Amino acid sequence: MKLNSEAKKIYNQIAGEIKKRIILKESLAYLERFSPTNDKREILKRQAYFKENLKLVKPEMRNLLLKIKPIRFRKNFLYDRLLVVDESELEKAQALGVCEVSTEPLEGYDLILSTIGYGIDVDLSVGDIAPELYIMPLWENRETLEALARIGELTGEGSVAGEILEGLKELDEVMKRKGLIGDLDELIASEEKRLNEKIAEKLEKFSLTLSGKELLEFLNELKSGNYEAIFAHFSEVEGDILSEINESEKKLSETLGFTVELFSRENLYPVEVSAEQIELLRHELEKELKVELYLKSREILEKVKPLLPKLKEELKRAYELEFLRAVKEFTEGFTFPEIVEGGIAFINGRHLFIERPQPVSYVVGNVKVTFDGTNGEKVLILTGANSGGKTSLLELISQIIILAHMGFPVNAENAYVEPLDELFFFRRKKSVYGAGAFETALRGFARSLVREGKKLILIDEFEAITEPGAAVKIIGELLKIAHEKGFYVVIVSHLGEDLMKILPFARVDGIEAKGLDEHLNLIVDRQPKFGVLGKSTPELIVQRLYHKKRGKEKEIFERVLGAFRS
């Protein structure tokens, strides 16, 4: 469906409203599939899609969909492992591009994998050689998996995410230890501190009591350099300290799942662990965990790999559901239009961008609904009160037409829409006057009449940019052409009375002010009266002044008011 630039602006406004509600950027692309189309079958297909899918969206889904993040499996090169293969497999192995490959074992790798018995046995597949490339993204996106599992329950479409999560539980233990390696410095420093405090406390409590005889023996041993005997006196406290150290190392070993020997047995106090020692331990631990992580990942991957294609589909579906959720939020209270022939009609349409709008019904052409005063006219002249809502009605018609051609529900209680090839909206240009503006507008209007096809042309006050006399002639002729070609036209004009005379096929509708409220403000009925020329507001303004003024002035307004009534 073709839209001219103003009609496109309305489409963009609508698209903007939907986009505003879409939280996941991956979901935005879905909107592009719904640009307005003149193809009736396509519109009906889209309607069927929305009817079926919008009902799957539940309010609880919003928070779940918010958690969805893309799960990307990237083919990174893993420098920690070496794959040893037979000469004949070398090329194929290198082509996998996930790690170094060699025909013989080499030093400097944490993991040695092999197809010929040099290390852990593997097949020549990425899943076997680098299962972490699949498992780590899954592990890091457990929140997404949890959300997918729950979404699957809510839609009733099910999910493989639960099963994958179950498999990933096998990694809990290894990953917990991996986390501890990150905190190794703090872990050891705090153990060191605790141990030193404990030893200091013990030393403080320790006192050496010797009897006179023992003291003499002690001095003799000292003289003869018999240190062992001297140390024996202190062995009690030394034993205590050693058992504290042992205890501490045992605790660390349990925490890290690895036998740790960190503290010196030579210099017992203060206990000190050097940075190099920690680094060495870290390296050892990392190496061991790498192997464990590799083995576990491989085991889990074997179980979950067949589920991954479905998972990919589910992720896509989640993005689609987020799009649908936004559509549902935007179209709350809307209805699907009936796709018909013969024109456009809607009952109680509500302007999208006016707060608490008065619902308006309207008909262009000959569709199922008829209103008093209408007779299937295709060319309509909309007249009436200033600020009555004429421009807003043209906008409302455009909104309903555009949404209907997108296959969306529309902002009305009921609607009947014929698929159109083109929609034109010519806005009144308030700021430009003169021949230039007139020429541009005239050209635009004429151009809209050239091509054949089904079209609706909406024009807002064309005459504002030229003299009324000439305007009647120009508009009159152009509308005759539109009528001959069977186009639908709604034109806002203050020249309704003159146009009526020369365009017998056209219907004139009027938006009228109902009167004045108790504060003498205009009350406008936004619903046009069909086949009725809109009573102009000046009369009401005069009436207002007549009511407000006193004395001589009141008399003047009374006379003016009389002129309206005669």
Write out the binding residues for ATP: 384-391
Residue with Cβ nearer ligand ATP (258 or 371):
371
Our CA dihedral for 480, 481, 487, 489, rounded to 10 degrees, sits at: -50
Residue with Cβ nearer ligand ATP (248 or 361):
361
Q: Does 137 bind ligand ATP (CB under 6 A)?
A: no
Q: How far is the CB of 422 from ligand ATP (least distance, A)?
A: 23
How many whole angstroms separate alpha carbon 476 and alpha carbon 495? 10
How many whole angstroms separate alpha carbon 508 and alpha carbon 530? 7
Q: Does 534 bind ligand ATP (CB under 6 A)?
A: no
Residue with Cβ nearer ligand ATP (390 or 405):
390
Residue with Cβ nearer ligand ATP (35 or 391):
391
Helix (H, G, I), strand (E, B), or coil: what is residue 364? Answer: strand
User: Of 9, 358, 454, 531, which one interacts with ligand ATP (CB under 6 A)?
Assistant: 358
Question: Quick one: residue 551, left, alpha or beta (phi over 0 = left, psi -120 to 50 = alpha)?
Answer: left
Strands 111-114 and 455-460: unpaired
Q: How far is the CB of 487 from ligand ATP (least distance, A)?
A: 22
φ/ψ of residue 114, rounded to 5: -155, 150
Q: Does 526 bind ligand ATP (CB under 6 A)?
A: yes
Q: How far is the CB of 522 from ligand ATP (least distance, A)?
A: 10
Residue with Cβ nearer ligand ATP (337 or 510):
510
Q: Does 528 bind ligand ATP (CB under 6 A)?
A: no
Q: How far is the CB of 509 from ligand ATP (least distance, A)?
A: 12
Q: How far is the CB of 491 from ligand ATP (least distance, A)?
A: 12
Integer Rg of the chain from CA: 42
Binding residues for ligand ATP, total number by CB under 6 A: 13
How many whole angstroms separate alpha carbon 56 and alpha carbon 75? 36
Strands 99-102 and 379-384: unpaired
How many whole angstroms separate alpha carbon 427 and alpha carbon 433? 14
Q: Does 113 bind ligand ATP (CB under 6 A)?
A: no
| Piece in contact with ligand ATP (CB under 6 A), picked from 41-49, 141-149, 352-360, 412-420 | 352-360
Q: Which amino acid is it at 240?
A: D
Q: How far is the CB of 388 from ligand ATP (least distance, A)?
A: 4
Q: How far is the CB of 482 from ligand ATP (least distance, A)?
A: 21
Per the CB < 8 A criterion, the answer to whether 18 and 322 are in contact is no
Per the CB < 8 A criterion, the answer to whether 415 and 446 are in contact is no
Q: How far is the CB of 439 from ligand ATP (least distance, A)?
A: 22
Per-residue contact flags (x/-) with ligand ATP for residues 431 to 470, judged by CB under 6 A: ----------------------------------------
How many whole angstroms separate alpha carbon 528 and alpha carbon 260? 88
Residue with Cβ nearer ligand ATP (27 or 392):
392
Residue with Cβ nearer ligand ATP (387 or 440):
387
Whether the CA torsion 143, 144, 149, 150 is positive or negative: it is positive
Residue with Cβ nearer ligand ATP (293 or 394):
394
Per-residue contact flags (x/-) with ligand ATP for residues 373 to 402, judged by CB under 6 A: -------------xxxxxxx----------
Q: Which amino acid is it at 389?
A: G
Per the CB < 8 A criterion, the answer to whether 278 and 187 are in contact is no
Q: Does 357 bind ligand ATP (CB under 6 A)?
A: yes
Residue with Cβ nearer ligand ATP (78 or 397):
397
Tokens standing for residue 549: 């003024």
User: Of 195, 360, 402, 415, which one interacts with ligand ATP (CB under 6 A)?
Assistant: 360
Per the CB < 8 A criterion, the answer to whether 116 and 108 are in contact is no
Contacts of 432 (CB under 8 A, 6+ apart): 465
Residue nearest to ligand ATP (CB): 389
Q: Which of 78, 87, 83, 79 is nearest to 124 (CA)?
A: 83
Per-residue contact flags (x/-) with ligand ATP for residues 301 to 340, judged by CB under 6 A: ----------------------------------------
Tokens standing for residue 243: 């058992």
Cα separations in angstroms, 103 against 27, 91, 97, 107, 115 = 48, 11, 16, 13, 10
φ/ψ of residue 48, rounded to 5: -65, -40
Q: How far is the CB of 449 from ligand ATP (least distance, A)?
A: 23
Q: How far is the CB of 362 from ligand ATP (least distance, A)?
A: 11
Q: Does 13 bind ligand ATP (CB under 6 A)?
A: no
Binding-site positions read: 384-391
Residues that bind ligand ATP (CB under 6 A): 351, 354, 357-358, 360, 386-392, 526
